[in-house]
A and B are shown apart, each in its own frame.
Chain A
């Protein structure tokens, strides 16, 4: 694995290897031995063109726990300005000897450009690109699902997941559909028709417009963040109506199976797509997702940079 650009690039075996590696790394970290040595002397650059405190610090923590040197490069706002092009930034990072570049960019496909244009020789990790993909989010979600539903082993065969919300603009949804299907899970996308992309019928996921009918038989409900500004573009009439039809509240949660969990990639709009009592309920694994994110990103960096020392 040279880059991680799309969750769809991973085979079932590769995905399971990442999850198993993350499990081992989490266990090693939990033993309290401090930093692990495998990426000592390697340089990881966090190249963030968008504000994203959570994802950036998650990658930073992951790299540091593996003893890599971390450079944070915040380039917010310059993505579409010709003055400081992605190419020039990439050439700079190459000159500084980056072994891996973790990129978050508001343009879909920017990580592909970075990886495939001959600008840099190091590995590229997509930390979220526009409305395209966010593969490490899908990996941490798969990790969380496996932990709760599959005793943290193997694949996700037979697991049913409902992904609810703004699928059209969600990189989390795209990556999750690809990865969860690769791992054998069944995915149901739930959204108003305006927030489903043309061609979603080719994704291999079930599609529903009705939340109430969609959550009673699943093992997990993954709520997506809905940006209030979508309202202005008439994707739905009001925040109130959205919440009424597609928000997960306590009454709806009661209809879920006893073992089913509630997930959210964050940041949440409490009161919009998820009510506060659901977010803070016993079913909610939202905080766990954050913790798992560090382990999964450690695994990705470890495997990408070919760490050879033992974990």
Chain B
């Protein structure tokens, strides 16, 4: 197998060293190492391969939007070495059969670990528990369960799900959205929605569910993960829950770190997403929460759609935006360039912690000799205009199109194999 040496990169943005990769592992770290292929990482940061707890690979069912293969390619190009594929496919990933299918498709693609997320309830209908144990025991080894796209709204069912997954160290990842408060909701409820005449999605609809769920998790002694937290109030609730020792983790998406709902003034559905883009105060709160560790991880909620689902009037458009290829640059722009976070913290939030929450072995490991060689090399200073047609995802619905973002993934190594070199898929 090829012996790679990543030359002169700054490990976690700190010490400059060479990394030798051989047979899937980091085999040496030091100065002046040499190998078969050298990757020039001078001026770059070197991080453990990124782990995404929240993507939509759309397969099976919406292969026109994304497949496990095309999504894996987008992930690798974005510096990821593991992704979780949400369960809201067609058929829904609510049985061992479907999660094994997704897992096998990931193995065949071979570019990242594809970790299927199992549905909490049958058909995401919110009425009866799916066979969570069967999915956990399957070849896919599911540990994260979510009805993402829909909220597990029934408090009793949520309690049972939280309890039940303790048997196999699972976690319920909740899409926190009180359904009655968000009927027909189109965007954040606030000054902008009032002006635009679009039905509002109030912050309280997220916060009320999170408050309920942390109390439930506390009551039954289970672990809870909160998907795509988006409001200042949610950050406060998570901070309160953690202070009380409740076993809760939370994620924020790159787009909620970056955009406010002012962009909806354009009525361009490229900005239509669930939960919706919020206000400046919310953006500042989620950034602060991510910086201080209240929010544990960044997860993309990569939600690809073909143009016919986006190139229409706002209310007819689908919710969602792509995120895998832009995630690291957006975190760089919003958290690192702003001085809020170090690269070591980025590694924690985008690799170590998500791997731990998802119980993904061999991922999120430290950059030391003996670790599996899951590595991303990122040049944080290359400025590039986002051009949707350059995306390797099957879809083009990036909200950053036309914007200049700082940073580019130069190389990605997945279990010792280069999936990206010179910024391009291998």
Interface residues, chain A, with chain B CB atoms under 8 Å away: 79-80, 82, 85-87, 105-110, 112-113, 116-117, 129-133, 171, 174, 197-200, 202-203
Does the CB pair B313–A109 fall under 8 Å? yes
Known: A85-B308, A85-B312, A112-B266. A132 touches B196 (CB 8 A): yes
Shortest Cβ gap from B260 to chain A (Å): 14
CA distance A197 to B191 in the complex (A): 8
Nearest first, the 3 closest Cβ-Cβ pairs linking A and B are A109-B267, A132-B197, A197-B194
Closest to B199 in A: A131
List chain B residues, Cβ under 8 A from A197.
193-194, 200
Closest to A85 in B: B312
Does the CB pair B197–A110 fall under 8 Å? no
* Residue from B194, B197, B268, B314 whose CB has the most chain A CB atoms within 10 Å: B197
Does the CB pair B190–A79 fall under 8 Å? no
CA distance A131 to B199 in the complex (A): 9
Contact mask for chain B residues 293-315; partner A; CB cutoff 8 A; 1 contact, 0 none: 00000000000000010011111
Known: A82-B308, A109-B267, A112-B267. A198 touches B315 (CB 8 A): no
CA distance A250 to B192 in the complex (A): 37
Does the CB pair A129–B197 fall under 8 Å? yes
A selection of 18 A-B contacts at a CB cut-off of 8 Å is A82-B308, A85-B312, A86-B312, A87-B311, A107-B314, A108-B197, A109-B196, A116-B266, A116-B268, A131-B197, A133-B197, A174-B195, A174-B197, A198-B190, A198-B191, A199-B191, A199-B195, A203-B195
Does the CB pair A86–B194 fall under 8 Å? no
Shortest Cβ gap from B269 to chain A (Å): 8
Does the CB pair A171–B191 fall under 8 Å? no
Residue from the list B191, B192, B266, B315 in contact with A107, Cβ < 8 A: B315
Q: Does B59 contact A (CB under 8 A)?
A: no
* Residue from A109, A110, A132 whose CB has the most chain B CB atoms within 10 Å: A109
List chain B residues, Cβ under 8 A from A79.
313, 316
Shortest Cβ gap from B205 to chain A (Å): 13
Residue from the list B190, B194, B196, B312 in contact with A113, Cβ < 8 A: B312
Residue from the list B198, B202, B268, B311 in contact with A108, Cβ < 8 A: B198
Does the CB pair B196–A87 fall under 8 Å? no
Residue from the list A107, A200, A202, A203 in contact with B313, Cβ < 8 A: A107
Q: Does B325 contact A (CB under 8 A)?
A: no
Residue from the list B191, B197, B268 in contact with A130, Cβ < 8 A: B197
List chain B residues, Cβ under 8 A from A113.
267-268, 312-314
